[in-house]
Amino acid sequence: FYLTPSQVNSILKANEYSFKVPEFDGKNVSSVLGFDSNQLPANAPIEDRRSAATCLQTRGMLLGVFDGHAGCACAQAVSERLFYYIAVSLLPHETLLEIENAVESGRALLPILQWHKHPNDYFSKEASKLYFNSLRTYWQELIDLNSGETTDVREALINAFKRLDNDISLEAQVGDPNSFLNYLVLRVAFSGATACVAHVDGIDLHVANTGDSRAMLGVQEEDGSWSAVNLSYDHNAQNEREVERLKMEHPKSEEKSLVKQDRLLGLLMPFRAFGDVKFKWSIELQKRVVESGPDQLNENEYTKFIPPNYYTPPYLTAEPEVIHHKLRPQDKFLVLATDGLWETMHRQDVARIVGEYLTGVHHQQPIAVGGYKVTLGQMHGLLTERRARISSVFEDQNAATHLIRHAVGNNEFGTVDHERLSKMLSLPEELARMYRDDITIIVVQFNSHVIGAY
C-alpha cells in the first residue's frame, strides 16, 4: 500500500502557509520579503505550535515556533500570548499610557499585533479575558516602573518570556472560578513548551530561545554556495554551558542527579521551558494545587508524580538566551524549526536545500560536455539524478513544505525518495511518533536590496 504522489502532497501541504510583506508603490521597504511556514504532526494532536505577527505600534516582525510536551496546552498558550508580552515590552511609555487610558474609558484599543495565521492556528476564546487581564496587569506595572529609558529589544524579549512564564505559574496557583478555565490554566502550567522567537526590525535580528528548537541563518557565499549560521543555542544536555549553568544554580550534592540520561532530573529533554511547574514549584505547592484542583488533575498520574531528587526547585526557567545579529546582504533567509527537523537534518543540508529552493533551479549549473569524455550512459544517469532533484523542488510552492519533504523523505543519497516518503506519511497514528517527531518550520526570506541599502 502506497500513497500516490498527490496524496503525499495533500498531507504535506495541509498546514502550509505563506505570507508576503505587501508592497507599496511597487516597492517592499521591509527587510523581510515574507515567510513560508508549515507543520507536520507526529503526535495526535500535534504538540507543536507556530506564530507570526507584525508589530503595529513599533516596527518589526515577530516569528516563533513552540514545541510542546506533556500535551499541547502550554505551547498553545505561549503561541497565543508571548508576542503580546513582547510587543508590550517594546512599547514606549506614552503608547502604554494611551492603551491603558483606552481600556479604562472603554474606548477602542490601538491594535498591537497583526497576526499572520493559518486557519488551523486557533486562539482559545474562553481564556482571552483571563489572558487579557494578566497582560494588562503587566503593562500597568510597566507604566508604574517607567524608567524613561528607550526600550532595548534584548531586555524586552527576556522580560516578556519571564513575565509570561510567571503569569502562567500564578494563574495556576490562583485558579479560576470557571471550572473549564480552572482546568485549562492548570493544564497549561503542568505541560511545557520551548520557544524560539525571532524579532526582525530593519537589519536588527534578535533571536530569543528557550529550549531545544533552533534558529539558523542561511548565508549565500560569494561562489553561490550555501552555508548555515546558528542563531540560537540548544538548551539541552548536549550544551555544556547549560549543564554548567544548572550545576552552578544547585548545590554540589545534586551534581550527579541533575542530569541523568541526558535529561533534566532524568526526565526532561529541554533544560529551559515554559510551564512545567513540576520542575519549578516546591513540592508543597505542587501537592496543594493538585489536591485542590479538579478531579481530572488529581487522577492524572503524571501531575501527581514528583520528580526524583527534587530538592532545590526551581530546576527549570523560561528565561531565553538572546542573540543579536546585524543582517548583511548575503544573509538570505532564517529558518526557525522545532527539534523534529534538526533531528533528521544537518543544518548545512537545510541551508543548501532552502537556498536552492528559494533561488530556483538555475543554481544547478548547466552541464557542458566540453572536452570531457562522457558516455551516453553516464550522462543519462547524471540527468536522471538532476531531474529528481528539480522535480521535488517544483512540487512545492512553500519552502517549509519543501524542507519537510526532504526531512521525511530523504534517502541515503540526500534525494527525496517517494517510496520512503509515502511509508513515513502512512504510518498509523500510534506508530508515527516512534519514527518521527512533530515538525514545525518557518522560513523567513530577507530582502537583500533593502538590507544592502542600510
Partner 1 sequence: AARMFLRLLSDIQWRAAHPKWRRMTSSQRGTSTTAEPHPVSLPAQAQVVICGGGIMGTSVAYHLSKMGWKDIVLLEQGRLAAGTTRFCAGIVSTARPVSVELKMAHYSNKLYQQLEQETGVQTGYMKTGSISLAQTQDRLISLKRIASSLNVMGIPCEIISPKKVLQLHPLINIHDLVGAMYVPEDALVSSANVSLALATAASRNGVQIHERTCVSHVTIQKGRVTGVETDRGRIQCEYFVNCAGQWAYELGHSGEEPVHIPLHACEHFYLLTHPLKEPLSSSLPTIVDPDGRIYIRNWQGGILSGGFEKNPKPLFTEGRNQLEIQNLQEDWDHFGPLLGALLRRMPGLEALQIMQLVNCPESFTPDMRCIMGESPTARGYFVLAGMNSAGVSYGGGAGKYLAEWIVNGYPSENVWPLDLKRFGTLQSSRTFLRHRVMEVMPLMCDLKVPRWDFQTGRQLRTSPLYDRLDAQGARWMEKHGFERVKYFVPPGSDLLDLDHSKTFYKPDWFDIVGSEVKCCKEAVCVIDMSSFTKFEISSTGDQALESLQYLFSNDLDVPVGHVVHTGMLNEKGGYENDCSIARLSKRSFFMISPTDQQVHCWTWLKNRLPDDSNLVLEDVTWKYTALNLIGPRAVDVLSELSYAPMTAEHFPSLFCKEMSVGYANGIRVMSITHTGEPGFVLYIPIEYALHVYNEVMNMGQKYGIRNAGYYALRSLRIEKFFAFWGQDLDAFTTPMECGREFQVKLDKGMEFLGQEALWEQKQNGVYKRFTMFILEDHDTDMDLWPWWGEPIFRNGRYVGKTTSSAYSYTLERHVCLGFVHHFDEKTGEELVVTTDFINQGEYEIDIAGQRFQAKAKLYPFSSLFTQRRRKDEVELSGYQRE
Binding site residues, partner 1, CB under 8 A: 364, 366-369, 373-377, 379-380, 383-384, 386-387, 390
Q: What is the smallest separation between the CB atom of 376 and partner 1, expressed in angstroms?
A: 5
Q: What is the smallest separation between the CB atom of 363 and partner 1, expressed in angstroms?
A: 13
Q: What is the smallest separation between the CB atom of 221 and partner 1, expressed in angstroms?
A: 24
Q: What is the smallest separation between the CB atom of 6 and partner 1, expressed in angstroms?
A: 17
Closest to partner 1 by CB, 108 vs 369, is 369
> How many other C-beta atoms can be found within 10 angstroms of the C-beta atom of residue 255?
12
Residue 212 CA to residue 74 CA, distance in Å, equals 16
Residue 392 CA to residue 406 CA, distance in Å, equals 9
Q: Which residue's C-alpha cell is 550512459?
A: 377
Residue 41 CA to residue 433 CA, distance in Å, equals 9
Closest to partner 1 by CB, 130 vs 388, is 388
Question: Which stretches of 267-309 are assigned E, i.e. beta strand?
Answer: 274-275
Closest to partner 1 by CB, 369 vs 434, is 369
Residue 233 CA to residue 199 CA, distance in Å, equals 16
Closest to partner 1 by CB, 1 vs 372, is 372
DSSP-based three-state secondary structure for 263: strand
Q: What is the smallest separation between the CB atom of 10 and partner 1, expressed in angstroms?
A: 21
Q: Do 74 and 189 touch, CB atoms closer than 8 A?
A: yes
Q: What is the smallest separation between the CB atom of 359 and partner 1, expressed in angstroms?
A: 16
Q: What is the smallest separation between the CB atom of 224 and partner 1, expressed in angstroms?
A: 18
Closest to partner 1 by CB, 261 vs 365, is 365
Residue 88 CA to residue 143 CA, distance in Å, equals 11
What amino acid occupies position 398?
Answer: N
- In this structure, the strands spanning 321-326 and 259-260 are unpaired
Closest to partner 1 by CB, 148 vs 366, is 366
What amino acid occupies position 169?
Answer: S
Helices 179-190, 73-90: crossing angle, 10 deg rounding: 90
Closest to partner 1 by CB, 125 vs 362, is 362
Closest to partner 1 by CB, 267 vs 390, is 390
Q: What is the smallest separation between the CB atom of 332 and partner 1, expressed in angstroms?
A: 24
Handedness of CA 222, 228, 232, 237 (dihedral sign): negative
Which segments of 45-104 does DSSP mark as H helices, in order? 73-90, 93-104
Of 328, 176, 75, which is closest to residue 64 (Cα–Cα)?
A: 75
